[in-house]
A and B are shown apart, each in its own frame.
Chain A
């Protein structure tokens, strides 16, 4: 079976700036695939190329085994797109946003109305059907945008930072709905810079930085490859944490000194902490936790603020 999305050496340039610098990607049917990376890593540019609204500068890109340049309308007919910024139609009601959007796909009016009602129930907006878009909360607007992306019963749903800017309740509701879609066999492709989101939703992901893919795998395998099993976070009662770094030599695989704490990447956190105490070091606080995707991410893309 051919991949739903197949990219080889995919490049996107804007003038002198290279946003996407030769990436290889394959997304299989039914998969939840994530693009993870800091702002400006090239995630959204990649999504726009996959969504067939931005022509690739170079490289191979096939979507649903078709060519985005030649078959744009036919491909887009089978995609659902949830953009980073909500672009709902503020002159229409909640329900009209769905029925009108369905018409853009050539869906008959009666079918559009039925599907709109089903989808409003699915994203728990049934009671707001007749409301205008403007007074909706951020979480509601995002759910409506997701519902809109499903109106054509797409084969692939593209979600660009689906929960950025939402409060915890709203995020969990969105995740839960996306998880249900995944269980129904819908292929999800999403970008995020939230590690918990990637761990929750993605079967497989790539980490992007500076337009390139710097790592690829399942969340679990990425953590195994690029981090230790556990992390010990130590805070010493001093201005200069770095002064303690040398005293921690030899504990764990890797040490990272931050302005407010020191991270020890270790196989066994409790063993490492015991060793710290044996060296008569007494941190003000010590936390042993399992390594997460965030550790991988920061290790691979660095801690420097991008924008």
Chain B
């Protein structure tokens, strides 16, 4: 029994170590003024929070949550900004940067000449995207606590949810990168991402839409993320949030599997 299980464990350990070395490469590369990009990624949701959440919120008044509870518009928008920042952090690393490394820097050709396998590159790049996305999330959660939009305890509970959101979108982004052919296609990704940002229960509750549109909205991955993060940070967790978690886990698993397969196809011809 032991001889059957042990080699598999060892090989998994190797895969984890090799994926970590891919992420480590990005940490080494980070030193070259990358922090400007990082700062930009952090500022965007904060600016939205202040302009729309605080500014427009003053005109709108309170919003009713599905449970019937009333919250201020800023409280309503903040978790959505957190979710979409986790999304965009994960996507920028796994679409634009990942595609560039794969097609133009030929970085992965070099990596694949070592024991690293395509799936391990995908996993390592994803782990890196998560590190980057989570730095945004922690900073944003701190702002939410400082503005009294959530409690420190709920902020702590929200963090794992933002990690999950990041993983799911990272895998989705990576899958997309292995399917698209040129830089032009990134315009489409940008448009899709912006549509998600506007219509995923971010600024308007999904219940505000006509029934058919509402179903469509509720199917969107960002809606599921917003619903989960809003539920936790505002302290109104229920069964719908379990669906959110399952949905995001499935997205992660499917995205990463397809990305790994496509990379093998593209790079190991």
A residues adjacent to B (C-beta < 8 A): 14, 48, 51, 53-55, 72-74, 76-77, 79, 81, 83, 85, 87-92, 96, 100-101, 103-106, 148, 152
- Decide yes or no whether B268 CB sits under 8 A from chain A: yes
Asked whether A106 and B113 contact (CB < 8 A) given A87-B107, A92-B28, the answer is no
**Which of B18, B28, B113 is the one whose CB lies under 8 Å from A100?**
B28
> Distance (Å) between the CB of B76 and the closest chain A CB?
40
B267: chain A residues at CB < 8 Å are 53
- Decide yes or no whether B261 CB sits under 8 A from chain A: no
CA distance A144 to B233 in the complex (A): 51
> Is B105 in contact with A89, judged by CB distance below 8 angstroms?
yes
> Is B107 in contact with A101, judged by CB distance below 8 angstroms?
no
> Is B115 in contact with A87, judged by CB distance below 8 angstroms?
no
- Decide yes or no whether B224 CB sits under 8 A from chain A: no
> Distance (Å) between the CB of A210 and the closest chain B CB?
20
* Chain B interface bracket (under 10, 10 to 19, 20 to 34, 35 or more): 20 to 34
Number of A-B contacts (CB under 8 A): 75
CA distance A287 to B50 in the complex (A): 85
- Decide yes or no whether B47 CB sits under 8 A from chain A: no
Q: Which 9 A-B pairs have the closest CB atoms?
A: A73-B115, A81-B113, A104-B114, A87-B106, A91-B29, A103-B21, A87-B110, A77-B115, A87-B109
> Is B29 in contact with A92, judged by CB distance below 8 angstroms?
yes
> Is A105 in contact with B115, judged by CB distance below 8 angstroms?
yes
B residues adjacent to A (C-beta < 8 A): 14, 17-18, 21-22, 24-25, 28-29, 32, 105-107, 109-117, 267-269
A79: chain B residues at CB < 8 Å are 113
CA distance A48 to B22 in the complex (A): 22
In the complex, residue of chain B having the shortest beta-carbon distance to the beta carbon of A105:
B114
**Which of B14, B24, B106, B109 is the one whose CB lies under 8 Å from A103?**
B24
**Which of A14, A54, A106 is the one whose CB lies under 8 Å from B18?**
A106
> Is A76 in contact with B114, judged by CB distance below 8 angstroms?
yes
> Distance (Å) between the CB of B37 and the closest chain A CB?
13
CA distance A217 to B107 in the complex (A): 36
